[in-house]
Amino acid sequence: MRNERQRFSGLDRADMLFAAPWSGSEKLLLALLCLLTLFFAVITPPFQAPDENQHYMKALAVRQGDMLTEQRGPAIGTDLPRAALDIHRIDFPTDVPATSRLFHADQLRRSASADARRSGSDFADFPNVASYAPTLYLPGAIGLAAGKGLGLSSLGAFCVGRVVNALTGLALLIAALQLLPFGRNAMLATALLPTFAYQTGSLSPDAVINGLGFVGLAFALRVGFMGSAPARSVGLLLTGPLLALCKGVYLPIMAAGMRWPTRRDPRLWLILGAMTLGAIAFVAWMHYSGGSQALYHIQSRKTGETMMTAPLRDQLATILASLRTAEQYSTTVAAG
């Protein structure tokens, strides 16, 4: 490993004085990744990335200041401009056709010129992402707002949103690579996976989720192996809640920086503190939003019927009720 190492006495000793310098191959891989991500952002037809229509509607909601959604019958979402909605409802539909669908440049031109004929607003249904934290969609929302501020069509604003989202994901990755004390090649190899670059180059919140996941891991490793300097400690404590709001299940990756069994080492408690703040932020958002990140439309393969899963609190209540019923039955059988 290309690092200078030195052991210090004391509780907050640093095992590494500085991270390895960037190699030429690492710089080349990063440049390739940036080009690949932006290539996908430009070349992929609108809404052809997984669930991009849902993410687009959520980003539109955040752009207009709707942090929470509402439920109208089986639908969950909010009112959005019809001109913005019709570019995926009509111009670039996301249903799966019987035959392969081809996209042509004239579709882009027709869609870009159709805004004037699409006035008013409609209720947009996006239950799969309705309760996701708005922090996931801030880059896309900023890009959409910038596009409209530049006088672009709804389709043009969508493209700007894509690029801003992709650049945010790349910026987070670069920040993580700069912070990482070791293992830069492994992180670059992960980021170079085609699916990773493809998702980052769309309006998917995966750009932010993966980027903050990398940053959280990098901060934890830097604190764990290079000491808890004030700036990196603050960064770690801020990243914990942001990462938890992205995906609560990603929070444990920050445990990679823990140095067991040095219980008296303050770095251990600093990382645990960041994870605790993240858990609090996640629970607080779930309570505030009144929803569940496990709220989806599901379709029966046998009947074709579509239904929506119950919120997490209702699912847990059903499970607990079943357990109580089973316990009562066991007690009755034992007494009989």
Chain segment 301-314, per-residue pLDDT in tens? 566 565 555 655 66
Q: Is residue 13 part of a domain?
A: no
Please indicate, yes or no, whether residues 89 and 154 belong to a single structural domain of this protein: yes
Q: Is residue 38 part of a domain?
A: yes
Give the tokens for residue 182.
Answer: 């070791």
User: Do residues 105 and 273 lie in contact, with contact meaning Cβ atoms separated by under 8 Å?
Assistant: no
**Residue scoring higher pLDDT (95 or 92):** 92
What integer pLDDT is reported at residue 3 of this predicted model? Answer: 42
Q: What is the pLDDT of residues 96-124, one digit of tens each?
A: 676 777 778 888 888 888 888 999 999 99
Residues 6+ apart with CB under 8 A from 318: 310
Q: Is residue 121 part of a domain?
A: yes
Q: Which of 105-114, 141-150, 259-268 has the lowest mean pLDDT?
A: 259-268
Q: Is residue 23 part of a domain?
A: no
What integer pLDDT is reported at residue 197 of this predicted model? Answer: 93
User: Do residues 281 and 245 lie in contact, with contact meaning Cβ atoms separated by under 8 Å?
Assistant: yes
User: Do residues 267 and 254 lie in contact, with contact meaning Cβ atoms separated by under 8 Å?
Assistant: no
Please indicate, yes or no, whether residues 151 and 240 belong to a single structural domain of this protein: yes
**Which structural domain range is residue 329 located in?**
297-335
Please indicate, yes or no, whether residues 198 and 310 belong to a single structural domain of this protein: no
Q: Is residue 5 part of a domain?
A: no
| Pairwise CA distance, residues 118 & 107, whole Å | 16
* Domain C-terminal end among 266, 289, 312: 289
Residue with tokens 């993580």: 176
| Pairwise CA distance, residues 57 & 130, whole Å | 9
Please indicate, yes or no, whether residues 285 and 318 belong to a single structural domain of this protein: no
DSSP secondary structure string, 229-280? -HHHHHHHHHHHHHHHHH-GGGGGGGGGG--TT-TT-HHHHHHHHHHHHHHH
**Residue scoring higher pLDDT (215 or 94):** 215
Please indicate, yes or no, whether residues 80 and 171 belong to a single structural domain of this protein: yes
Please indicate, yes or no, whether residues 328 and 284 belong to a single structural domain of this protein: no
| Pairwise CA distance, residues 326 & 333, whole Å | 11
CA distances from 20 to 4, 5, 23, 36, 295 (A): 8, 11, 9, 25, 44
What are the start-end ranges of the H helices in 98-180?
Answer: 105-112, 138-149, 154-179
* Domain C-terminal end among 251, 267, 289: 289
Residue 290 has pLDDT above 80, yes or no: no
Averaging pLDDT over each range in 161-165, 185-189, 321-325, which range is the top one? 161-165
Please indicate, yes or no, whether residues 188 and 304 belong to a single structural domain of this protein: no
User: Do residues 30 and 188 lie in contact, with contact meaning Cβ atoms separated by under 8 Å?
Assistant: yes
CA distances from 94 to 101, 109, 122, 161, 163 (A): 10, 19, 18, 19, 21
Please indicate, yes or no, whether residues 263 and 301 belong to a single structural domain of this protein: no
Q: Is 33 left (phi over 0), alpha (psi -120 to 50) or beta?
A: alpha
Q: Is residue 18 part of a domain?
A: no
What integer pLDDT is reported at residue 312 of this predicted model? Answer: 59
Q: Is residue 6 part of a domain?
A: no
Q: Is 265 left (phi over 0), alpha (psi -120 to 50) or beta?
A: beta
Please indicate, yes or no, whether residues 189 and 318 belong to a single structural domain of this protein: no
Please indicate, yes or no, whether residues 64 and 164 belong to a single structural domain of this protein: yes
Number of domains making up the chain = 2
Q: What is the pLDDT of residues 50-77, one digit of tens each?
A: 889 999 999 999 999 998 888 888 788 8
Please indicate, yes or no, whether residues 215 and 325 belong to a single structural domain of this protein: no
Q: Is residue 325 part of a domain?
A: yes
Residue with tokens 């959280």: 216
Please indicate, yes or no, whether residues 221 and 315 belong to a single structural domain of this protein: no
Averaging pLDDT over each range in 111-120, 164-173, 184-193, 264-273, which range is the top one? 164-173
